[in-house]
Amino acid sequence: QVLLVESGGGSVQAGGSLNLSCATSGYTYTNYDMGWFRQAPGKEREEVASISGDGSATFADSVKGRFTISKDKKKDTLYLQMISLKPEDTAMYYCAAGCYYSAYDVLRGPGALERGEQYVCDYWGQGTQVTVSS
């Protein structure tokens, strides 16, 4: 059984920093991506940052230069360091593992086959709340 447990969330003022941690257990798919996502009230969940099995990181444009993602393989822990926090960073932050691009085909209508890829993750934590006040 794979378990992901986030910690480190809290309330800070704008310009402050927080460090999130995601402790994993039972997760052995190290070749897959791990990532952080967030969802604010009334908004869709969005990817914040991800890190591949070989350590390559990607970030959402809104957090580039402010957030850093890393992982400690020995501790089986994923981290998200956040600095210069803004009120718009307020959201529930989720850790995810076993992430990859999955191809899909959707028939939109007669002869209208849409093909694409979506980023999916097999395992999710329960989330940790981050609140940034102005």
- Summarize pLDDT for 83-122 with one digit per residue, the tens: 999 999 999 999 999 999 999 888 888 888 888 988 999 9
**Cα–Cα distance list, 90 to 11, 66, 84, 86, 123 (Å):** 9, 14, 12, 8, 23
pLDDT tens-digit readout, 31-73: 899 999 999 999 999 999 999 989 999 999 999 999 999 999 8
